[in-house]
Homo-oligomer: A and B are copies of this chain.
C-alpha cells in the first residue's frame, strides 16, 4: 500500500475529477481557464481544459524531487493505487511504491490523465461548455505535443521548475521524448520505455483497424453516442481484442494458452470460445468497454499515429535533442514487436549524435510489449540504478 499524499495547498482544485461516465474520482483536478487557453498543434485554442491528476509522496522544499509518470494508450492517472472503477491494482504498482524504483518516500510522483483521455481530463466525452453537450468528434484532434503542453501547464501550476524525471512506456514513452525535446531545461532525467520517436506504418495500420471497428458499430452514431444514450461496445471490444494481441508475443501466448481448450475435453465444432485464448480475448474486449470511452480511443490512437519527432525537427531526430543536458535511460524488450528494439535504438543513435548522456538497455523477455507493465526484475534493477545515480547528481541523495 502506498500512502497517498494530499496535494499541496496551492494545487487544491475547485472540484474532484469525474470519469467519462460522470463518476467522481479520487485525486485532483487542475483547470486551464479561458483567460489562458491551451494552444493545440492543430491551431485551435482550447479552454477550459481540466487536467485530472494524482500524486504520491511529498514535494521537497527545493521542489526538485518531482517525477512525472506518463501513461500509455489505455492507462490513466491511477498508476499506483487501486483503480476507482475496475478495483484492480494500479497499472504500475510494480514500478511505483515503497521499495520500488520510483519510491514515494523519495519522490513527489505526479501522474496525469492525458488530454483526450476519459478519466477526468478533458476529452471527447467531456461536456463542451459552449454547447452543454459532450464534445464527441467536436473536440479538436489532440497530439502528443498537446498532451505534454497541458502537463507543463500543470507543472507550472504546481510551482515546479524542473522535473527530476519524466518516465513512461509506450505512448508514455512518446510523451517522455516530447518532454525532453520541448522542455529540455525542465527534465533532469528521462526514461522512455518500449517506445519510439515515431509511429510505424504497421502500428498506424493496427490503430486504423481499431478505429474502423469502432466506427463500424452503428451505435457509434458518428461519435454522438453519448447524446443518443447508446455505446459502441461491440466495435470497441473488437478494437481492444485486436490491439491486445499486439501487446503480447507469440511465445507468451503459446506459453500461457497454447491450443488449450476451455473447460472441455474436445472441440465443439462450433463458434463458441473453444480455445482458452479466445475466451481470454473476449474477456479483454468486454471488460475494456466498461472502463474506456470509444471516442477517447479514437483520439489517443490518432495522437500516437501523428507522433513523429524527427519530422517536427527538419527530418533529423538528433535536432529534437540538440544541446540537451537531460540524462536518458532507454529500455526495450526483445519480444516487443509493436515497439521493437530498433525503434528505441534509433532514438539512442540520435541522442548519441548530439552527445547526450544516454544509457540503453534491451531486456530479454518473452512477454512482448506489455513487459513494461509486468514484473521484469532486470528492468527494475536497471531503472533503480539509473534513478539512484541521477538522484545523487541532483542532490536528492547524499
The chain A residues found within 8 Å of chain B, CB to CB, are 41-43, 137, 140-141, 198-202, 204-206, 208-209, 211-213, 215-218, 234-235, 237-238, 241-242, 245, 248, 250, 253-254, 256-259, 267, 269-271, 273-275, 277-278, 281-282, 285, 298, 302, 305-306, 308, 311, 337, 340
Contact = CB atoms under 8 A, between A and B. Distances in A.
Given A42-B269, A212-B237, A201 B306 contact: no
A302 B273 CA distance: 11
A270 B204 CA distance: 14
Contact of A242 (B209, B234, B254, B337): B209
A238 B212 contact: yes
A237 B201 CA distance: 19
A254 B200 contact: yes
Contact of A337 (B218, B258, B337): B337
A211 B245 contact: no
B306 A267 contact: yes
Contacts of A140: 269
Nearest to A143: B269
A277 B245 contact: no
28 contacts: A137-B271, A140-B269, A141-B269, A141-B270, A198-B259, A200-B250, A201-B258, A201-B277, A202-B248, A204-B259, A204-B275, A204-B278, A205-B245, A205-B253, A208-B273, A208-B275, A208-B277, A209-B241, A213-B216, A213-B238, A216-B217, A216-B234, A216-B237, A242-B242, A250-B337, A259-B311, A271-B298, A274-B305
A305 B275 contact: yes
A258 B238 CA distance: 25
Contacts of A212: 237-238, 241, 282, 285
A237 B235 CA distance: 13
A219 B43 CA distance: 40
Contacts of A248: 202
A209 B311 CA distance: 34
A199 B254 CA distance: 11
A257 B305 CA distance: 14
A95 B285 CA distance: 41
Most buried by B among A205, A277, A308: A205
A250 to B, nearest CB: 4
Nearest to A342: B250
Nearest to A40: B269
A256 B202 CA distance: 11
Contacts of A302: 271
Contacts of A308: 259
Contacts of A41: 269
A125 to B, nearest CB: 16
| Complex A-B, nearest 5 residue pairs according to Cβ-Cβ distance, in ascending order | A216-B234, A42-B269, A141-B269, A201-B253, A202-B250
A39 to B, nearest CB: 13
B213 A213 contact: yes
A202 B238 contact: no
Given A200-B254, A302-B271, A308-B259, A277 B205 contact: yes
Given A204-B277, A205-B245, 5 more contacts: A201-B256, A202-B250, A212-B238, A213-B213, A215-B271
Most B CB within 10 A of own CB, among A140, A200, A201, A305: A201
A254 B201 CA distance: 6
Contacts of A273: 208
Given A238-B212, A302-B271, A201 B285 contact: no
